[in-house]
Amino acid sequence: MAVASPTRPGGKRKPTRFKRNLRRNLSAYGFLSGALICFAFFSWYPIIREFILSFQENNFVDPPVWVGFDNFKTVFEDSAFKPAWVNTVVFTLLALVFGYAIPFLIAIVLNELRHARAYLRFVVYLPVMLPPAVAVLLFKWFYDPGPGLFNQMLGLANLPGLSWLDSTSTALLSLVIVSTWMNLGSGTLIYLAALQTIPSELYEAAELDGAGIIRRIWHVTIPQTKLILAVMLLLQIIATMQVFIEPYLLTGGGPENATVSVVYLMYQYAFNFTNFGAGSALGLMLMLVLMVFSVAYLRISREKNG
């Protein structure tokens, strides 16, 4: 049985719920459209294009040729493929040890301080304000085996100098130090913001119960910030697995492939070997790995918001 749509007095039809919602949210859609179009052009379209390119041979003049999984095979058989993944994973793990724990500890210290807090926050955040290329080149001088700052300091302490970027045993760790230094400020500020949301009553209660600083951190700080810690952990993994600028500017992937990373290898394929198919295939592999962490991040974020 058809239901007549309700009409207003005077014969005018009452708008449907959909139209009412649309009208009510029209301005929101207007503002959103800009972001959606930019995302579509600069994020979603390139992702789809990368997916397609990874199964094609394309010289961008003639119609592309579908090559199935040939590009993936090329990447798998590359002698740099295994070192690139191993280096990326080791870099990520080392970056977690340094880049994840250190900012949290600094944030705790800053949170405990009563004096010069604003000044120290500025000092900690300062490296973030430097363009990454500048920061990396600054470390190039720090690491110089001759007149570099680090070896000069070791010399003052009567310790032998290190080869830093020029030794297979220290090159990757040297890149981790650069990366940690560059990103320290952002992480610290986020942790600090999270720490400041913890009700002070909890600390007071813990102090009354006789808890020292370690127990306060263990029983109050960490449980109260566990969601932000989890989110930061995943974001850190996602960011560090895409390490590129450090090996690109400091080591060129060497010595002896000791610092070649997955994204550096992608760059090689795309811009030095002009093999966009293989570069896209490698990018797709990395995307699939990062997607696992992204899904976990989304779940945790939802839990946090819920």
Which residues contact another protein (rule: CB under 8 A)?
23, 26-27, 29-31, 33-34, 37-38, 41-42, 59-62, 74, 77, 79-80, 144-147, 163, 165-168, 248, 251-257, 268, 271-274, 276
Closest distance to another protein from the beta carbon of 55 (Å): 17
Pick 38 or 97: Cβ nearer another protein: 38
Pick 167 or 301: Cβ nearer another protein: 167
Pick 34 or 306: Cβ nearer another protein: 34
- Tokens 């198919």 — which residue? 277
Residue 85 makes CB contacts below 8 A (sequence gap 6+) with: 262
Closest distance to another protein from the beta carbon of 38 (Å): 6
Closest distance to another protein from the beta carbon of 118 (Å): 37
Pick 34 or 210: Cβ nearer another protein: 34
Which SS3 state, helix, strand or coil, does residue 301 take?
Answer: helix
Spell out a b/e string for 1-39, using b for 16 or more CB atoms within 10 Å of the CB, else e: eeeeeeeeeeeeeeeeeeeeeeeeeeeeeeeeeeeeeee
Please give the Cα distance from 20 to 26 (Å, whole number). Answer: 10
- How far are the Cα atoms of 25, 56, 229, 304 from residue 67, in angstroms, in the given order? 46, 5, 43, 44
Give the residues across from 121 on adjacent strands: none
Pick 185 or 277: Cβ nearer another protein: 277
Closest distance to another protein from the beta carbon of 20 (Å): 11
Closest distance to another protein from the beta carbon of 141 (Å): 10
